[in-house]
Chain A
Amino acid sequence: MNVERIKLHNFRNYQELNFSFLQGVHVFTGCNAQGKTNLLEALFLAVLGKSFRAGKDDELIERGKQSAKIEVEFNNLIASHSLKLDLYRDGTRKNVLDGQAIKKREIVGYLNAVLFCPEDLWLIKGSPSGRRRFIDLMISQVDRNYYQDFIKFNRILLQRNHLLKKIQQQSAKPKLLDIWDDQLIELAVKIHHRRNEVLRKISELAGQIYAKITSGTETFSAHYCVFDQDKTEIEFYRKWYQQRLFEGRNNDIRRGNTEFGPHKDDINFIIDDYEAKLFGSQGQQRTAVLSLKLAEIEMMKNITGEYPILLLDDVMSELDGQRRERLIQEIDGKIQTFMTGTEIAIGLEKVTATYYSVSAGVVERM
């Protein structure tokens, strides 16, 4: 799929922007704090409906302005789409897809993207939430049911945690937990199953890519924990989680929080039989993250039948020559890519790319 045009109005430091894009690689260069990441952020809004770095829409509106507009035109195998987002200071917004008003959550699944930014280099050693985000973001884009389930699960969790606090203050009966737990288990089973299924494929793909980059000298795999079972084991997981919730109930009440479930699960990366989180060198981690991102791209292609777009924020300078070459090889001629950097990345010589300069919210083709 391809982004064909982006229009911005009072978005971050962009007063007006209107650019159309062909396929291929688009390179945005400029000094720091000029608006390079802002541009990728705007594109990503069309992917997920929300920013990858701002908590609230408020931050996205140009300082001193009352509203921002983001318009992205893109195509996928099936059709061309136009998505318009109007964000207002008071926190309200309008999302319009092809002329029809839609909810924020309905934005997901039309424009697919893989985002790779310097923070991702923490994927291996960072907190479990980053790893859960990695897998959830990937599945959500290609499986609308998963995204709905995921939102619903979080809502049940929120309700359950409020109820736990009420019970702790003795203003509700513990028995009331039963109905929420039933729902929680139903959704946990689905989420757990799907994550496991996808991660097994990711592990296989990333393992192959990792082997290629290291010329077969090292192995890499990814495993879902706590409960890494094959897909025939749905009932087994259900019983296990049910039991876990039930046994943990008093503890949950004491803490006013749900201590077990998909929202606490993690992914374990193994390099050469060792836990990468604990033993991986910096070089190994970078190779692992690159392999995972490339696997994510292949995975999305496998499921949807076409490549997502790729957003590379400031990562070329983080990769050494060999890894950079690997990445270029994978995207060249296949994947529409938007990359940013303070310098024109070396290693791009062989690629036909379009170059742009970014300075104080003004983008110019070079």
Chain B
Amino acid sequence: MVPLPLAQLMDQFRRLPGIGPKTAARLAYHVLGMERERALALANSIIAAKDKIAYCSVCFSLTDENPCAICRSQTRDHHTICVVEEPRDVAAMERTRGHERNRGYQGTYHVLQGTLSPLDGIGPEDIRIRELVERIQTGDVREVIMATNPNLEGEVTATYVARLLKPLGIQVTRIARGLPTGSDLEYADEETLAKALENRREI
């Protein structure tokens, strides 16, 4: 019999994405073997991240200040918005900038927080499309780059948003198919992503 607190800890790990029963057990035993200090630090960082990080009220990426650093930055190009599915895709796109800040993507972001997917009950009202339209109507945006994932739902969402934005008189582009289809943006390496961005085409 596994003691109850240990079983509960395993169960908590098991609920995390990509963690099976074996890995959950290994992680739980690993935590038990830690010094109390280390375990406390782990627990505290989970709480701190949860409490201090929220969505940026402009771009809906994750941030500990509102608006986020990118939205507040004077050096970013606020005429260009790159539309992605999830906050982790912002991190992926930011990697295209490397260490010298004059390389790669210079514009701002908009995180949809999902894609259209009737299967999961997600329609246009359930993701941040309305907020994107408002941003465009109130700001001086010239180009919107659709960088949703190159899978079915990502393509459909890109098409939907493009058709919605076209009448507003801005240029809407789609990142190039340099990415393997059906793959995720976040796993693409910087170079592939930078190429895909460079070779974007109008939709």
A binds B: yes
Q: Which residues of B contact A159 (CB under 8 A)?
A: 117-119, 152-153, 156
Q: Which residues of B contact A176 (CB under 8 A)?
A: 116, 123-124, 160
* Residue B21 interfacial (CB < 8 Å): yes
User: In residues 143-185 of chain A, which contact B (Cβ within 8 Å)?
Assistant: 148, 152, 155-156, 158-160, 162-163, 166, 171-172, 176, 179-180, 182-183
* Residue A92 interfacial (CB < 8 Å): yes
User: Chain A: which residue is nearest B22 at the CB level?
Assistant: A88
Can you give 7 contacting A-B residue pairs, CB < 8 Å?
A: A152-B152, A162-B118, A172-B118, A176-B160, A179-B160, A179-B163, A183-B155
Residues of B within 8 A of A (CB): 20-21, 116-119, 121, 123-124, 152-153, 155-156, 159-160, 163, 182
Q: Which 9 A-B pairs have the closest CB atoms?
A: A162-B118, A163-B118, A162-B119, A179-B159, A179-B160, A179-B156, A159-B118, A159-B119, A172-B123
> Which of A88, A171, A183 touches B152 (beta carbons < 8 Å)?
A183
User: In residues 174-209 of chain A, which contact B (Cβ within 8 Å)?
Assistant: 176, 179-180, 182-183
Q: Which residues of A contact B152 (CB under 8 A)?
A: 152, 155-156, 159, 183
Cross-chain contact B118 with A166 (CB below 8 angstroms): yes
Cross-chain contact A90 with B20 (CB below 8 angstroms): yes
Residues of A within 8 A of B (CB): 88, 90, 92, 148, 152, 155-156, 158-160, 162-163, 166, 171-172, 176, 179-180, 182-183
User: How many Å lie between the Cα of A171 and that of B21 in the bound state?
Assistant: 39
User: Chain A: which residue is nearest B117 at the CB level?
Assistant: A159
User: How many Å lie between the Cα of A163 and that of B159 in the bound state?
Assistant: 17
In the complex, how many angstroms separate the beta carbon of B122 from the nearest chain A beta carbon?
A: 10
User: How many Å lie between the Cα of A152 and that of B182 in the bound state?
Assistant: 10
Cross-chain contact B21 with A90 (CB below 8 angstroms): yes
Q: Which residues of A contact B119 (CB under 8 A)?
A: 158-159, 162
Q: Which residues of A contact B118 (CB under 8 A)?
A: 159-160, 162-163, 166, 172, 180
Q: Which residues of B contact A90 (CB under 8 A)?
A: 20-21
Cross-chain contact A182 with B159 (CB below 8 angstroms): yes
A180 and B20 contact, Cβ closer than 8 Å, known pairs A159-B117, A172-B118: no
User: Chain A: which residue is nearest B159 at the CB level?
Assistant: A179
User: How many Å lie between the Cα of A335 and that of B152 in the bound state?
Assistant: 39
In the complex, how many angstroms separate the beta carbon of B102 from the nearest chain A beta carbon?
A: 37
Q: Which residues of B contact A162 (CB under 8 A)?
A: 118-119
In the complex, how many angstroms separate the beta carbon of B127 from the nearest chain A beta carbon?
A: 13
Cross-chain contact A180 with B21 (CB below 8 angstroms): no
Query: Assuming A159-B152, A176-B160, A179-B159, what are 7 further A-B pairs, CB within 8 angstroms?
Result: A90-B21, A159-B117, A163-B118, A166-B121, A176-B124, A182-B159, A183-B156
Q: Which residues of A contact B116 (CB under 8 A)?
A: 176, 179
User: How many Å lie between the Cα of A172 and that of B121 in the bound state?
Assistant: 10
Q: Which residues of B contact A155 (CB under 8 A)?
A: 152
User: How many Å lie between the Cα of A92 and that of B116 in the bound state?
Assistant: 26
In the complex, how many angstroms separate the beta carbon of B110 from the nearest chain A beta carbon?
A: 19
User: Chain B: which residue is nearest A151 at the CB level?
Assistant: B182
User: How many Å lie between the Cα of A25 and that of B163 in the bound state?
Assistant: 59
In the complex, how many angstroms separate the beta carbon of A82 from the nearest chain B beta carbon?
A: 24
In the complex, how many angstroms separate the beta carbon of B150 from the nearest chain A beta carbon?
A: 12
Q: Which residues of B contact A158 (CB under 8 A)?
A: 119
User: How many Å lie between the Cα of A362 and that of B118 in the bound state?
Assistant: 48
In the complex, how many angstroms separate the beta carbon of A224 from the nearest chain B beta carbon?
A: 26
A92 and B20 contact, Cβ closer than 8 Å, known pairs A159-B117, A166-B118, A176-B124: yes
In the complex, how many angstroms separate the beta carbon of A157 from the nearest chain B beta carbon?
A: 11
In the complex, how many angstroms separate the beta carbon of A212 from the nearest chain B beta carbon?
A: 44
User: Chain A: which residue is nearest B182 at the CB level?
Assistant: A148
User: Chain A: which residue is nearest B21 at the CB level?
Assistant: A90
Q: Which residues of A contact B117 (CB under 8 A)?
A: 159
Q: Which residues of B contact A183 (CB under 8 A)?
A: 152, 155-156
In the complex, how many angstroms separate the beta carbon of A329 from the nearest chain B beta carbon?
A: 43
Q: Which residues of B contact A160 (CB under 8 A)?
A: 118
Q: Which of B124, B152, B159, B182 has the most CB of A within 10 A?
A: B152
User: Chain A: which residue is nearest B124 at the CB level?
Assistant: A176
In the complex, how many angstroms separate the beta carbon of A145 from the nearest chain B beta carbon?
A: 11
Q: Which of A90, A155, A179, A182 has the most CB of B within 10 A?
A: A179
Q: Which residues of B contact A152 (CB under 8 A)?
A: 152
Q: Which residues of B contact A92 (CB under 8 A)?
A: 20
Q: Which residues of A contact B163 (CB under 8 A)?
A: 179
User: How many Å lie between the Cα of A183 and that of B159 in the bound state?
Assistant: 10
